Amino acid sequence: MISTNRFQKFSFILVLSLLFGTSAFSKDMTQRLGIGYADQLSVNTPSISAKYHATPNMAYSLDLGLQTGDNDSAFGLLAKVYRTIFPEDNLNFYMGGGAGLISQKINGGDNDSGFDLLAFVGVEFFLPGVDSVGFNFEAGFGIQSISSDTEFRTIGHSPLKAGMYFYF
């Protein structure tokens, strides 16, 4: 018997495969601003994100994540730069980097602060006929340094973590 979680993943992939069966032109997002979300901070806090495509090959984003509470809290501010390296039908393949400030308090302990660094490659894709909505996949490496602890990590983000944007 197929578990519900596996069935949902299979259904999601099947629907995406069927939607991308049509051809289109690569997306020129020059001078368009996207507002959406991302969940890429090393502190476990989803972020509101703004992404601006300044030129056909360069984009910038700023992510802000905030969680408040008596025992648990988190804050993150992440700036990223993207360089489109291969435009394709209905998607743009890019590489980039990011740097951010993070802070967290867990289980009522001390507040720990530090930074995040990211290096990544990714894809932003668009559904045919829906040019204003972009979905992202990303993979790469990251460094998190918070108080006295430094961690190196690999990154693999689906659209649920890498983000989705609505472009104006």
Look at residue 65 in the predicted model and tell me its pLDDT.
Answer: 93
3-state secondary structure of 13: helix
Torsion 127-96-151-62 (CA) sign: negative
Look at residue 147 in the predicted model and tell me its pLDDT.
Answer: 82
Q: In which element (H, E) is residue 131 found?
A: none
pLDDT tens-digit series, residues 66-97: 999 888 888 999 999 999 998 887 889 999 99
Q: In one letter, which amino acid is 44?
A: N
Q: SS3 breakdown of the chain: % helix, strand, coil, rounded to 5?
A: 10, 60, 30
Domains annotated for the chain, with CATH where assigned, are 4-167 (2.40.160)
pLDDT beneath 50, residues of the chain: 1-2, 14-25
